Amino acid sequence: MDKKILALVVTLFVLPCVSAVAAPTLFWSYDTGGTVTGVAVSDGGNYTAVASSDGYLYLLNKSKKLMWREKTENTPLKVGISSKGDRIFVGDGSNVYLYNKTGDLQWEFFVGDDIEDLAVTPTGDRVVVGSLNHNIYLLNVVGGVLWKYKANSPVLSVDISSDGKYIAAGTSGSITYMITRDGNLLWEYINTRSIYGVGVLGRQIISGQRYPVFLEDGHQAGSYTSVVCDIMSIDTTGDDEFALVGCDDGNIYLIDSQKHKRWSYEAGESSRDASISPRGDFIAVASGSTVYILESPDIAPPVVEITSPKDGGSVSGLIDIDAKVTEDSSYTLKVTIDGDYACSKLPCTWNTGAASDGEHTIKVEVNDSGGNVEADSINVILSNTLMGGISSEISETKEIVEEGRVTLKETEEALRERLDENLPANLPPIRQDRDYGPIIKG
């Protein structure tokens, strides 16, 4: 996918704190000899597509080896690549071209006016195109037009969600559009400047002008204003959770869907374009005549799910707290009960004897080596009084039996009264299946 980069940001309202992660590191750089106008990188950094003002489309592998370069009819401006690197799209003048991994042209589509931006799904089965003729096009994998939508002015930036459900577009007429996969307008938002970068983050659009703005359902849902610059491009990851954002001052930033800055990186001179792989592990930056490939720090948070006890369940006595944690790197964890530290490993045993009856909150928080934090929490109902009442009743029944003649039916009725006093109201009533005869001691 190929969108536009943004700026560093501080929100206009108070947001939860998120641990910053390390900045990306330079993997390699490559000079094309002409101004790099567009870049796109596949998962694992295995393939990088580069558009240059020298009139060539380049494909480089992870080792910086030039796989091929193709001369285009005009000057290639924007490129997109699938997650596997097997489909390479380029916008050149008023044409869209699709190449395979070996550099063979698969098809071309004539738009009718200059192409300003394009973006593809991770699989490469859909490509959205924005043109100076005011049209937004959605094409399929064989170059067929699924639909086109007429905007208010030239379309400068586009994006598409990873599943192809939502398409975003920004225009020179300061309008940001959210469109469905069927070509129907969901909503539009009037900005104050031309929009050179848009990205789809779930049901939100991150829209760039002089600072990033988050839009949802046609309304502003947040913004970053601490850094003011000309936003050049925005690109999003395949899970629609992170947006790569950059400015004309050469800085790039990673923003998550919760409006937190994860890291920033100074790329040097003005970054005309930047791309993040669908998996978020590699980044390509166009700066002058050079494309820079960066290896991204771990940005994916751990997955945490408490498996025991059950959320909303009743507990008593000794409780084993356990959770399923999915994380590729090393991590530390912390178990808390009502905010108080309990354990640093799983399973964690909670002796509820000293706790009061009622609702308690169990939380398992995981912090991975990349600084990403995720947590899961549940509520349980502690009912130690119930167990104490039953034990007391059993003891009293034993004394009655030892004194002489007593029926089990009488004992059962007494026990039922005690249970009725302590059991939660939503439990089914105790059922008596039969009467018991008398028991005679001795």
Q: Which residue has the higher pLDDT, 409 or 7?
A: 409
Which region among 190-204, 232-246, 415-429 has the lowest average model confidence (pLDDT)? 415-429
In a domain, 13, yes or no: no
Cβ neighbours for 106, distance < 8 A, ≥ 6 positions apart: 98, 99, 100, 143
Question: What pLDDT does residue 18 have?
Answer: 45
Question: What pLDDT does residue 105 have?
Answer: 97
Residues 73 and 214 in one domain: yes
Instruction: Grade residue 219 by pLDDT with cuts at 50, 70 and 90.
Output: very high
Residue 294's SS3 state is strand
Domain limits for position 329: 303-382
Cβ neighbours for 176, distance < 8 A, ≥ 6 positions apart: 168, 169, 170, 188, 189, 191, 195, 198, 205, 207, 215
Quick check: 52 and 34 in contact, CB under 8 A? Answer: yes
Which region among 64-73, 184-193, 385-394 has the lowest average model confidence (pLDDT)? 385-394
In a domain, 15, yes or no: no
Mean pLDDT, to the nearest integer, of 63-69? 97
Residues 337 and 266 in one domain: no
Residues 324 and 353 in one domain: yes
Quick check: 410 and 393 in contact, CB under 8 A? Answer: no
Domain limit, last residue, from 295, 323, 358: 295
Structural domains of the chain, count: 3
Mean pLDDT, to the nearest integer, of 87-108? 97
Mean pLDDT, to the nearest integer, of 157-183? 97
Question: What pLDDT does residue 188 have?
Answer: 97
Residues 342 and 394 in one domain: no
Domain limit, last residue, from 260, 295, 330: 295
Q: What are phi and psi of 387, to 5 degrees?
A: -65, -40
Residues 162 and 218 in one domain: yes
Residue 142's SS3 state is coil
The beta strand positions in 135-174, using DSSP E, are 135-140, 145-150, 155-160, 166-171
Residues 54 and 117 in one domain: yes
Distance CA 142, CA 159 (A): 19
Condensed to tens digits (0 to 9), the pLDDT of residues 341-350 reads 999 999 999 9
Residues 279 and 308 in one domain: no
Beta bridge partners of 255: 243, 261
Q: Against a cut of 0.85, is the pTM above it?
A: no
Condensed to tens digits (0 to 9), the pLDDT of residues 125-146 reads 999 999 999 999 999 999 999 9
In a domain, 350, yes or no: yes
The CATH number of whichever domain residue 350 belongs to comes to 2.60.40.10
In a domain, 352, yes or no: yes
Instruction: Grade residue 222 by pLDDT with cuts at 50, 70 and 90.
Output: confident
In a domain, 6, yes or no: no
CA neighbor of 245 nearest in space, from 229, 269, 221: 229
Instruction: Grade residue 226 by pLDDT with cuts at 50, 70 and 90.
Output: low
Residues 399 and 321 in one domain: no
Residues 329 and 435 in one domain: no
Task: Report CA-CA distances (Å) from 144 to 107, 126, 180, 341, 440.
Answer: 10, 10, 18, 58, 91
Mean pLDDT, to the nearest integer, of 303-327? 94
Q: Which residue has the higher pLDDT, 99 or 208?
A: 99
- Tell which phi-psi region holds residue 62, choosing left (phi > 0), alpha (psi between -120 and 50) or beta: alpha
C-alpha angle 114-120-122 in degrees, rounded to nearest 5: 165
Domain limit, last residue, from 242, 275, 295: 295
Question: What pLDDT does residue 181 have?
Answer: 96
Tokens (6 digits) for 187:
């909503």
Question: What pLDDT does residue 1 have?
Answer: 47
The CATH number of whichever domain residue 184 belongs to comes to 2.130.10.10
Q: What is the mean pLDDT of the chain?
A: 84
Residues 377 and 271 in one domain: no
Instruction: State how far Cα 283 lies from the chain centre.
Output: 17
The neighbour count for residue 408, using CB atoms within 10 Å, is 15
In a domain, 17, yes or no: no
Tokens (6 digits) for 231:
């936003």
Residues 51 and 160 in one domain: yes
In a domain, 322, yes or no: yes
In a domain, 206, yes or no: yes
Condensed to tens digits (0 to 9), the pLDDT of residues 12-49 reads 333 333 445 578 999 999 999 999 999 999 999 999 99
Residues 328 and 418 in one domain: no
